[in-house]
């Protein structure tokens, strides 16, 4: 079923919308949640929460890209679960990824700096546009979807060390780019 048809089912409040969404994007959402959480039960719960959120958000929101919309929802739900569980020290997988980005992106934002967050997001998007398609995809897979360096290396035909070095170069490049735009870390 096409995304437009699925969205139309949501707009009609037809419960088949959730079934069709799960059939088309279930494994996609599961992979995103699994990259963040690793505990199967938590992953399944977050994916189910994503279906519920989607039902509640469409309408009034009508996404341009259903896949991107679902990806953002499942990522946000999974990160919220991660943060809650992290306080209980249940996860360590995401720590490595967050530590890698810590040296590039300031993390001490508060609510009053939401405008700065938007500007930072726009700067990162501008930086991503300067990269080759492969580097851009690697960066997003690693730092948005949470794919492990080991898995990326395997998919792209690198050793794990080569991929780690490539990601390090990307982070250094980002840090330099942000510094030239006046972002202090």
Instruction: Report yes or no: 117 and 168 within 8 Å, Cβ to Cβ.
Output: no
pLDDT reading at 99 higher than 80: no
Exposure class string for 159-176: b at 16+ Cβ within 10 A, else e: eeeebbebbeebbebbbe
The 10s digit of each residue's pLDDT in 130-153 is 999 999 999 988 988 888 899 999
Q: Closest Cα to residue 73, out of 138, 21, 5, 19?
A: 21
152-163 average pLDDT score: 94
Whether the CB-CB separation of 74 and 48 falls below 8 Å is answered with no
Nearest to 50 by CA among 121, 88, 31: 31
Q: DSSP label at 91?
A: -
Phi/psi for 107 (5° steps) reads -120, 5
At which of 53, 86, 119 does a domain end?
A: 86
Q: Is 185 within the bounds of a domain?
A: no
Residue 44: burial class (beta carbons within 10 Å; 0-12, 13-18, 19+): middle
Instruction: Give residue 181's pLDDT.
Output: 81
For 49-59, write each residue's pLDDT tens digit: 999 999 999 99
* Residue 105: DSSP 8-state: S
**The total number of structural domains that make up the chain:** 2
Q: What is the pLDDT of residue 97?
A: 64
175 and 109 within one domain: yes
Instruction: Show the domain range for 117.
Output: 94-180
Same structural domain for residues 110 and 173?
Answer: yes
CATH value at residue 113 = 1.10.10
């Amino acid at each position: 079923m096409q995304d437009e048809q699925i969205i139309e089912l949501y707009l009609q409040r037809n419960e088949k919308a959730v079934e069709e969404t799960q059939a088309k994007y279930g494994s996609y959402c599961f992979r995103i949640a699994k990259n963040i959480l690793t505990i199967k039960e938590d992953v399944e719960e977050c994916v189910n929460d994503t279906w519920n959120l989607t039902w509640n958000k469409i309408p009034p929101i009508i996404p341009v890209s259903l896949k991107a919309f679902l990806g953002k929802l499942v990522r946000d739900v999974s990160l919220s679960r991660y943060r809650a569980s992290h306080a209980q020290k249940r996860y360590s997988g995401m720590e490595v990824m967050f530590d890698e980005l810590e040296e590039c992106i300031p993390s001490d934002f508060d609510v009053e700096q939401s405008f700065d967050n938007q500007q930072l997001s726009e700067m990162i998007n501008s930086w991503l546009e300067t990269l080759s398609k492969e580097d851009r995809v690697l960066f997003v897979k690693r730092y948005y979807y949470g794919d492990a360096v080991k898995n990326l290396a395997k998919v792209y035909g690198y050793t794990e060390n080569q991929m780690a070095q490539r990601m390090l170069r990307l982070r250094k490049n980002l840090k330099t780019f942000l510094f030239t735009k006046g972002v202090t870390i």
